Structure 1
Amino acid sequence: MNLSYSNLPSKSNTITKTFQFFFTILTLLHLNVNATKCNMDDESGLLGFKSGIESDPSGMLDSWISGTDCCTWEGINCQFDNKRVNMISLSGQPDKSNSILSGTLSPSLSKIQFLNGLYLQNLRNISGPFPTFLLNLPNLQFIYIENNMLSGQIPNIIGNMSKLGALSLSGNRFTGTIPSLIAELTQLTQLKLGNNLLNGLIPQGIERLKKLTYLSLEMNQLSGKIPDFFSSFKELRILRLSRNKFSGEIPLSISTLAPKLSYLELGHNSLSGKIPDFLGKFKALDTLDLSSNKFTGTVPKSFSNLTKIFNLNLSNNFLIDPFPEMNVKGIESLDLSNNNFHLNQIPKWVTSSPIIFSLKLANCGIKIKLDDWKPSETYFYDFIDLSGNEISGSVVELLNKTEYLVSFEGSRNKLRFDLEKLRIGKRLMYLDLSRNSMFGKVPESVVGVEKLNVSYNHLCGKLPENKFSATAFVGNDCLCGSPLQPCKP
């Protein structure tokens, strides 16, 4: 056999290739070590934040361990090119009692110089004043510190954060007035200060925030007239001012928002005068809430143009007939309760809606036999309030076709039916059929309801074991058993 040595690898080639192999391994190991190393300032800033947290029952920050890659920590995002931390996003879950953080915001966060967005939402127990050290972060554009326990005044120096594109401090305990220098934040597209304890007037300077798409000041103690400055906001889509102490009329400049505004919420104030006709021009309107004010007169005929509206709430005002015929193709929720309407019928555009889940027409002068009302959809109803009308017949067919019903209020009508035939759904939590003409026994299924009132009817027999007070059952013909008098042997 001929063996050609020229085909065999030389000793020097073998050594060279072996060296190259080990060099490659060492290089990869070196790169991997560098890849898992967090920037010193970023790590220090984040661990300083963690040290300010006194309680973390759900282990939200368990992955925040010194010496590991902080870009892999929960709630942390890094820039792709330089691996610097640019976002902190920690969010609690409202339906989980342990998904909270208790503690304060550490000034060490100011070390994270590339931070662009800070999102601390629904953590519930983060306390302390407004974190002024955030002013030391040159790249910060988005602040969402929502549903926590921050308190004190919002400082005027917040006006120095001129790069901010969004500021949300909603759901905290801030007091005092809205700082006037907030008008310096001219790059803001979102300003959300709702659900705090703020008082005083809306600063006129807010009209300088021309890029706003979302303005939310609801659930505070703001007062005075709503400023007439809305012609400055060409991009505004959401305006939420409900649950304050505003007075006066709806300002005319709101009419300039018609092309784009989707949500107009002014409920639970002390606004007065007539509902302006120009609201009928808001063809992009999804939600209109004018409830619990002091509006008088009729609802404008122009409301017939609101073909895309899904949520309409005009309840608890002083509005009078006639209510306009609307051309809504699919209303989701409607509340016209407690005005001076005499509708006689449930409107056809309500009956034909395939997506309605909330219908509240208390004290609206409705005179129908409920068995004759045949809505297109009943399955998705969550809330129905027809109390204080002249409705006769039975609720059995209607309620037995609902699967998601949470509350039914039908008190002070002329309903007459056998209560035992009513199917009580598992989701039903509130049932009020008081002051009607129901008969039969109280079925055992009602004990699963949280709040019950079947008083002043013609019910009879022994009550099932229940948790309700006597007021839920008084005024019937012959009910007995706890919490009423014992049944006779």
Structure 2
Amino acid sequence: MPTKLFLLLIFLSHVASSLSKGCHPQDKKALLQIKQELNNPTLLSSWQPHTDCCYSNWYGVNCLPSNRVYFLIIEIDNDLSSSFPPSIGNLPYLESLLIYQLPNLTGSIPESITKLTKLRSLTISGTGISGPVPNFISKLKSLTYLDLSENRLSGTLPHNLYQLPNLEAIILQNNRLTGSIPSSYGYIKNLSSLFLSHNRLSGKLPMSLARLNSMALVVDLSHNKFEGNASMFFGFAKHTETIDLSWNMLSFEMENVELPKTLKLLDVSHNRVYGKLPEGVKNLQWLNVSYNRLCGEIPKGENMQNLGANSFSHNKCLCGSPLPSCKRI
């Protein structure tokens, strides 16, 4: 019996040894260094040196068949407190990085992430990181999705994101960003989502943004200090589905814009938009034009009456259902 037990222990040790070889040593070393740089949080207690990072259920880690780490998620921990771990740049096969709801993660985004040449999706959201949105983001040539929302980022928008040939989404809302939108953003060929709301951005919108024409385009510039014309976002041939320009200082004639035939949601409330509402608004699923300088009769359509008066209130002289009837002379 003791002999059988001894042989069983030898067998199990060989199994453990073979499993430990599954995870690439370079990736395992990088992950353990990341854990150390994050001050060994309880969240990462499953990251143990004697287990395999690919096949032992390490929290937030997924591997390719080649045993290289390609996906890493670290999220939702109010106790984790440290600066941003620079060793994340030592995972050369990483394609997706998601760091979410870590309010006590501080510091700036390290330049070491530029070593992640295969990175396609970068999310750092709901943290305490600060400093600028770094220009070196443009070195991540495989990037398609950039989400740096709900942080403490400041400074101006990086001008060189147009150098990312596959970029489809820019999500930077709820930060402390200032300055204007670079004209180069109109030359991001595949951009389908632009979220810049709840910042301190200002100035006139560059006319180059009229070039944005991707499928299912969503534009949200709300709660900033933009001024002047925003008609470049409109046009019958565009494929835009959502436009939110609310809570700015924009001023343009609404009657002259052509609404994209794909448009479902439009919010231009709390601006200085003037003129009449175009007939096309009656086809929208949702509309808010309140707190502007609009006049004339609200186009008749089932959706318009379903919206309620709040969507049209506080204008110069809008009238008609759901507002009071227009006066006839």
Task: Report the TM-score range of the alignment, normalised by the length of the smaller protein.
Answer: 0.7 to 0.9
Alignment root-mean-square deviation, CA = 3.7
Q: Whole-Å Cα distance in 2 between the matches of residues 357 and 146 of structure 1?
A: 37
Q: Whole-Å Cα distance in 2 between the matches of residues 343 and 125 of structure 1?
A: 56
The answer to whether the aligner puts 1:340 opposite 2:293 as a matched pair is yes
Equivalent pair of 2:271/2:291 in contact (CA under 8 Å): yes
Scaled by the length of structure 1, the TM-score of the pair is 0.54
Structure with greater contact order relative to length (CA < 8 Å, sep ≥ 6): 2
Q: Whole-Å Cα distance in 1 between the matches of residues 301 and 48 of structure 2?
A: 58
31-40 vs 278-287, greater mean Cα deviation: 31-40
Q: Percent identity?
A: 26
Map 1:245-394 → 2, pairs under 5 A:
245-260=200-215, 262-277=217-232, 279-281=234-236, 283-303=238-258, 305-326=259-280, 329-331=283-285, 333-342=286-295, 345=298, 347-348=300-301, 350-351=303-304, 360-364=311-315
Map 1:418-457 → 2, pairs under 5 A:
none
Map 1:163-242 → 2, pairs under 5 A:
163-242=118-197
Q: Whole-Å Cα distance in 1 between the matches of residues 60 and 158 of structure 2?
A: 35
Q: State the AA in 2 paired with 1:237.
A: S
Q: Whole-Å Cα distance in 2 between the matches of residues 125 and 343 of structure 1?
A: 56
C-alpha deviations, 1:357-377, integer Å up to 9, x for none?
Answer: 9973332456668xxx6xxxx
Q: 1:288 to 1:125 in 2, by over 3 A?
A: farther
Partner of 2:92: 138
Q: Whole-Å Cα distance in 2 between the matches of residues 358 and 47 of structure 1?
A: 58
SS at match of 2:183: coil
SS at match of 1:243: coil
Gap runs ≥5 in structure 1: 1-25, 85-113, 374-388, 392-489
Map 1:33-52 → 2, pairs under 5 A:
33=15, 37-39=19-21, 41=25, 49=35
Equivalent pair of 1:208/1:232 in contact (CA under 8 Å): no
Q: 1:246 to 1:349 in 2, by over 3 A?
A: farther
Displacement of 1:290: 0.6
Partner of 2:4: none
Displacement of 1:53: 5.3
Q: Whole-Å Cα distance in 2 between the matches of residues 357 and 131 of structure 1?
A: 50
Displacement of 1:235: 0.8
Scaled by the length of structure 2, the TM-score of the pair is 0.77
Map 1:49-68 → 2, pairs under 5 A:
49=35, 54-55=41-42
The answer to whether the aligner puts 1:154 opposite 2:109 as a matched pair is yes
Q: Whole-Å Cα distance in 1 between the matches of residues 136 and 52 of structure 2?
A: 41
Displacement of 1:216: 1.2
Q: 1:178 to 1:277 in 2, by over 3 A?
A: closer
Displacement of 1:169: 1.0
Q: State the AA in 2 paired with 1:315.
A: S
Displacement of 1:316: 0.4
Q: Whole-Å Cα distance in 2 between the matches of residues 358 and 53 of structure 1?
A: 54
Gap runs ≥5 in structure 2: 1-7
The structure with the largest alpha-carbon Rg is 1
Q: State the AA in 2 paired with 1:71.
A: Y
Q: Whole-Å Cα distance in 1 between the matches of residues 207 and 177 of structure 2?
A: 20
Equivalent pair of 2:156/2:178 in contact (CA under 8 Å): yes
Equivalent pair of 2:282/2:300 in contact (CA under 8 Å): no
